[in-house]
Every structure is written in C-alpha cells, then in structure tokens.
Structure 1
C-alpha cells in the first residue's frame, strides 16, 4: 500500500460517531430529513451542527463525501 494512502484510510476515525451522538436531534425545517439521512449514519450530529462551514464549505464537504462513496444529495 502506498504511504500516501494512509491519511485517507485514517480519515474515517476523525468522523466516527461517539457516545455523544445519542440523544441529539436537528430542529424542524428544510433539509432536516436530508441531513438526517445523509449524515447521521456515520457522523455525530454535533460534528455537523458545530462545524461552522459556510454554504460553499458544505458544498465542498458534500462533494468530498460523494467522491468517497457516500450517498449525499446533489
């Protein structure tokens, strides 16, 4: 395995949901169901809600996740 592949293999560990993921909920509103479906299978909601990404930043995150094989909305 090339050494340059190691960071990509370790990347999921940064996003692995921990015990804090339980009991959190998103507010009602547009996009709630999409976030719930696309993100919470792998990520802690706190990571999503506290990320501080701008709209453009979220586009980049979603594009990166789609390239990694995640089923995210276009």
Structure 2
C-alpha cells in the first residue's frame, strides 16, 4: 500500500505528459511533412482540411490527374470531409498542380517509393483510397485479414473473395507486407 501513492502520482502527471509528448511528436512530423509541400494558393486549406482525418503523406505520396484527384476529393467528402465548394476547388487546383501526373515529383522514383500501401495495417477507408477498392471490398479485405492473419504475398491478397485481383496487380510495386 505504501507504493500506491507514488504510482498514482506518476499516473496523474506522467500519463498526461506522455500523451502530450506523443501528440506533439505527431504534430511535429505532420508539420514537417506539410513544410516540405510546395508553397502556393490552396496549400493551407489542403493541409488544414486533409489532415483532420489522415496524414498529409496520403496526398504527397500520390500523383493523379485532375479526374483522379476529383474522384478522391468526392470520396473524402462522402466520408465526411467538410469545407465550402471554394475550399474544395482550391484543394483540387493545388493537388492537381503539385501532385498531378505532370508535376515535377511524379516521375521521380522517390515520390513513387514515398507511399507504400501497408495492407496489413491500413484501415478500410485508407484501402479504398490506396487500392481503388469499393467500400464493400475494403471491408471484406479487413475482415479476411482479421480472421486469417496478415498477408504475406500478393497471392494471399488475391484469396480475398469478391475482389478483382487486377486491383492488387495494379499496385503490386507499392504493396508492403
């Protein structure tokens, strides 16, 4: 019993400090990723809007044409992203200019390698974005993973019922097991 008080004190002060430190570390790494993004109209609203739900590297690691980014933004709005039409237009213009197929980083190998698809840890919503799966397909993949364990190869992914295997083939170089 004499050790209870010091333990409680350490939990009272130590745990909040630990949580604060972890969140500060996340904020610093997110901020440093945002600092590396090109300056320009739409950057601030892109960072503010998109980092509410996921890491900014979900954007910086991809390169899509205008239609691809439009589809991604529409999907994110469907998931609950909020903003005005003007905000989403500014985001679309920014990401298309800086992370489009014709942008400077699109052809760079480092840009392609920057975003691996962690098929054993990503949540269903992220798999929709990264693999181009439907909501039902991504939920089926996560359920299969939860039931059968981690995927070790692309062939393991192809065992998930109800998903077109060509979707995995299209991202084979980006899959991380």
Instruction: Give the alignment's TM-score, normalised by structure 2.
Output: 0.28
Deviation readout 1:17-68 (Å, 9 max, x if unpaired): xx56352122210110121121012221222111112111110011111112
Structure 2 alignment gaps of length 5 or more = 1-25, 90-177
Q: Report the equivalent of 2:70.
A: 59
Aligned residue among 17, 30, 48 for 1:21? 30
Structure 1 alignment gaps of length 5 or more = 1-18
Within a 5 Å distance, the mapping from 1:1-74 to structure 2 comes to 21=30, 23-25=32-34, 26-72=37-83, 73-74=88-89
Extract structure 1 runs of 4+ deviating beyond 4 A.
Answer: none
Q: Report the equivalent of 1:5.
A: none
Give the paired residue count.
Answer: 56
Structure 2 CA distance, aligned partners of 1:47 and 1:67? 17
Structure 1 CA distance, aligned partners of 2:78 and 2:46? 17
Query: Which structure carries more helix by proportion?
Result: 2
Instruction: Give the alignment's TM-score, normalised by structure 1.
Output: 0.60
Q: CA RMSD in A?
A: 1.9
Q: Report the equivalent of 1:4.
A: none
Larger Rg: 2
Kindly tell me: are residues 58 and 32 of structure 1, through their superposed partners in 2, closer, same or farther at Cα, counting changes over 3 Å?
A: same
Structure 2 CA distance, aligned partners of 1:71 and 1:39? 10
Structure 1 CA distance, aligned partners of 2:66 and 2:54? 19
In structure 2, the residue corresponding to 1:24 is in which secondary structure? helix
